[in-house]
Chains A and B, each alone.
Chain A
Amino acid sequence: GQQVMQIPQYQHVQEGEDFTTYCNSSTTLSNIQWYKQRPGGHPVFLIQLVKSGEVKKQKRLTFQFGEAKKNSSLHITATQTTDVGTYFCAGRGGATNKLIFGTGTLLAVQP
């Protein structure tokens, strides 16, 4: 069945360094969503990308959707301690058009 993988599984950075997480789908996606889960919290929706090659920014966060609509990335510039948490991508596609969550990337930021 459809799978969505994320790398890395875990990343530890010093505050101020950049961070990127990558999301890859086994099938073409109609759209992709990104969520953030703070420690002890629940996933919260960040953004949705729909178009091939689309790039969206939210302050220090940059989201990209690949040209083939099978991969996506989230880049954080100059990380802050408030960025800690697990970032999930979630792709919609395949025969069922269900939303499939990636495995998540846990970001730790050392002050």
Chain B
Amino acid sequence: DVKVTQSSRYLVKRTGEKVFLECVQDMDHENMFWYRQDPGLGLRLIYFSYDVKMKEKGDIPEGYSVSREKKERFSLILESASTNQTSMYLCASQGTGNQPQHFGDGTRLSIL
């Protein structure tokens, strides 16, 4: 069974801090994704990666960056956290083609 592990379930940070959210998958999937989930807005794609060291912007990349140095790990970075980045962050991985996405448990991030 696919396992996608996010480093924290809950995280509280302060405005202006640099924040790292980590995600690891164990299925050797090429594709990995970062979403944020907000009430009434569904899942919005921040960034995705289809290979090591490759990254592409999603629909809402502003204020975020990502890193994929190893195939199993995809990190989301908030360079200077702001209160409007308070949200639930979900990581997902996916194999090739039209295979389904497998999600981690999510990180509920609060920026004070």
- A residues with CB within 8 A of B: 1, 6, 9, 30-31, 33, 35, 41-45, 48, 50, 88, 90, 92, 98-104
Contacts and interface: CB of A to CB of B under 8 A. Distances in A.
Contacts of B77: none
A43 B103 CA distance: 6
B102 interface: yes
A42 B105 contact: yes
A1 B44 CA distance: 13
Contacts, number: 45
A103 B102 contact: no
A99 B41 contact: no
Instruction: Give chain B's interface residue range (CB within 8 Å of chain A).
Output: 10 to 19
Contact of A42 (B40, B48, B103): B103
B101 interface: yes
A74 to B, nearest CB: 15
A42 B106 contact: yes
Interface in B2-57: 35, 40-45, 48
4 A-B pairs with the lowest CB-CB distances in the bound complex, closest first: A45-B100, A103-B42, A101-B43, A42-B103
A103 B106 contact: no
A40 B26 CA distance: 23
Contacts of A50: 98
A42 B43 contact: no
B90 interface: yes
Nearest to A10: B40
